């Protein structure tokens, strides 16, 4: 139950953050004066001959898949289920909730916040450097492209980011990922209760504008990604 609650919270903040970026990138502020939003690089196609494809299919039936393949599928599923929600939410409705969520996070016990930051830093350090750098390059390129157009990146680009990010995540020490989860759970217990109630109430109002089936699908996808990443 705790993991499901965290997944829902992460999803809400992610949706809020992306919607906020949408409003930000369409503002009149010069591109270089704005923070770069996250964006993904477009994935490449892999061509395989009929015979090779048949052999690969047979191999998939009897050979265990690499960890990244499962994580990649989970990451793309998260993107595919959340993107329609993000594009349907008006930034003006998301901004107040996001602002309260940020203030809520700052109300946490400083020690709990430091522990979370340290855990996240340790997880990043356990990630394969080449995979991490590759992912950051794609994110940076996508961000520049989004800023240039002044709009959210297209779904294909976001899926591309999910692919390279999941490839990096697949190399991260799962024990370190679990430590990040535990630190996040500890942090939620130290949040200001009054701010938590207020933010939850506003979040519920925002969630009421989302199709329940879409929200359930997105939450389920996020839980699956957390499981594959070792967060559960």
157 to 42, 68, 93, 162: CA distances (angstroms): 5, 19, 25, 9
Q: What is the pLDDT along the chain (232 residues), one digit of tens a residue?
A: 444 444 444 444 444 444 444 443 334 444 334 434 443 343 333 333 333 333 333 333 333 444 545 899 999 999 999 999 888 888 888 888 889 999 998 999 999 999 999 999 999 999 999 999 999 999 999 999 888 888 888 999 999 999 999 999 999 999 999 999 999 999 999 999 999 999 999 888 888 888 889 889 998 888 898 888 887 7
Cβ 142 vs Cβ 157: under 8 Å: yes
Put simply, whether the predicted model's pTM sits higher than 0.85 gets the answer: no
Instruction: For residue 23, give both structure tokens.
Output: 């409003």
């Amino acid at each position: 139950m705790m993991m499901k609650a965290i997944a829902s919270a992460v999803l809400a903040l992610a949706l809020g953050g992306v919607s906020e970026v949408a409003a930000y990138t369409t503002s009149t502020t010069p591109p270089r004066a704005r923070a770069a939003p996250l964006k993904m690089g477009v994935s490449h196609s892999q061509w395989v001959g009929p015979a090779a494809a048949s052999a690969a299919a047979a191999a998939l039936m009897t050979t265990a898949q690499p960890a990244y393949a499962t994580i990649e599928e989970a990451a793309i599923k998260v993107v595919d289920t959340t993107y329609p929600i993000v594009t349907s939410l008006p930034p003006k409705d998301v901004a107040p909730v996001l602002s309260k969520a940020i203030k809520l996070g700052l109300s946490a016990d400083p020690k709990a916040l430091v522990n979370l930051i340290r855990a996240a830093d340790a997880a990043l350090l356990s990630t394969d450097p080449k995979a991490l750098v590759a992912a950051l390059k794609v994110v940076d390129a996508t961000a520049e492209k989004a800023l240039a157009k002044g709009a959210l990146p297209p779904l294909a680009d976001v899926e591309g980011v999910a692919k390279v990010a999941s490839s990096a995540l697949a190399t991260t020490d799962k024990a370190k990922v679990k430590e990040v989860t535990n630190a996040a759970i500890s942090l939620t217990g130290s949040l200001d209760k009054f701010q938590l109630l207020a933010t939850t109430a506003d979040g519920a109002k925002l969630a009421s504008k989302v199709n329940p089936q879409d929200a359930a699908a997105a939450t389920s996808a996020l839980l699956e990604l957390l499981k594959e990443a070792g967060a559960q």
